[in-house]
Amino acid sequence: MRSLPIILSLTVFIASCSNRNEASNQNIGKETASLTLDQLSSSMMLHLQNHIPDSLKIPRSVEADGSLILTPSQDWTSGFFPGTLWQLYSHSKKDLLKDAAEDWTAFIEKEKWDDHTHDLGFKLYCSFGKGYNATDNEKYKDIVIQASKTLIQRYNETVGSIRSWDFNADIWEFPVIIDNMMNLDMLFETTRLTGDSTYHQIAYQHATTTLNNHFRPDHSSYHVVVYDTLSGQVIKKVTHQGYNAESAWTRGQAWGLYGFTMAYRWTKDVAFLEKAKSIAQYFINHPNLPNDNIPYWDFDAPNIPNEPRDVSAATVAASALLELASYDLDNNATYIEWVDQVLESLSSEKYITTISPFLLDHSTGSIPGQFEIDVPIVYADYYYVEALIRRKNI
């Protein structure tokens, strides 16, 4: 679905970004991040004219033919579109964005009871959590708390982790994926909201178990670690979305970078900070990282440079590095310079999409799964907006 006003608006935006870059010959900075958020807020309000809230049509991605992939709330990505709206509202204070965020967020409430997934943080904290931050709505807080109560039912004390997937149970007794680090933010927050340390303790232990078992000596991460529930020992280390079990799937590296940076924020455990710093150095200095800092879908993909990029990995890493910059002062300037290059790259015509209601193109969901390859994906937009807000606030 395309909208002429949106295309014209984004064309003006691209031209203005190009003119600013030519005029200043400097990377994107605090002022430009704010201007970009202004433009994205305006563009999103145009997008909303074409997307009436529908509980079965939450934007997720785009098919190869350009048709939209729309999902119900059960999908793990359902929280990102309303979360993007909440973030843009927090910046712009436009009531149209707030109203739309409320409408799209409401569809996801029933997921607070879903005990068959580890993705409750993605679904409910990225939507209701952002909404609570923007409005102080007590109902939103209660939904986040219930989601955390549901999520910790998947915790296994012997393993010391929250179970990720339920599928492949015949070969994966207790799988834990690096992505699961992202869902801990909601648990840490729930302890702050309730005073009940149970959520913090479970999140802390999950992060510690992941720290001990998910990483190679070079600080790259395995995607999936499978545990024995009787002994708690690792059975095997595999991949589901990377090139192979020993490769460095780039979004997985970004999940780990973000997750351990966030875990340090909540716990002040220096081991988490050191791991985040090590992942950051691995990511930003990787020899297979392109000059524009937008990585290929896997650092070890066999046909680089003729491999799809993954903008979502870049935006997750960029947002994480902007938080890490506040903790790792020795590398603060390096991180910000790297992020500014990412944000500058994403402001170019190459990466901006005209497919409504998305913001960015060239993300990759799963090469092994053969879906969402080199297309807009909603979580890339979510972390892009978050990174811009963090950049604006530095």
Give the DSSP letter string of 36-77.
Answer: HHHHHHHHHHHHGGG----TT-EEEEE-TTS-EEEE-TTSTT
| Token representation of residue 151 | 């999520």
Annotated catalytic, 179?
yes
Q: Give the CA distances from residue 334 to residues 105, 221, 273, 280, 393, in Å, rounded to whole numbers and listed in that order.
A: 36, 22, 16, 10, 17
Torsion of CA 355, 24, 339, 76, to 10 degrees: -20
Active-site residue, from 75, 119, 185, 361: 119
DSSP bridge partners of 249: 298
Q: What CA–CA distance (Å, rounded) separates 12 from 350?
A: 14
**129-156 b/e (C-beta count within 10 Å ≥ 16 → b):** bbbbebbeeeebbebbbbbbbbbbebbb
Contacts with 279 (C-beta within 8 Å, 6 or more apart), sequence order: 219, 221, 253, 256, 257, 260
Q: What CA–CA distance (Å, rounded) separates 315 from 332?
A: 18
Burial class of 235 by CB neighbour count within 10 A (0 to 12, 13 to 18, 19+)? middle
Helices (H) and strands (E) in the chain, counts: 14, 9
Q: How far apart are the first and last CA of the chain?
A: 36
Annotated catalytic, 170?
no
Q: 263 near 181, Cβ under 8 Å?
A: yes
Active-site residue, from 179, 298, 310, 374: 179
Catalytic residue numbers, as ranges = 119, 179
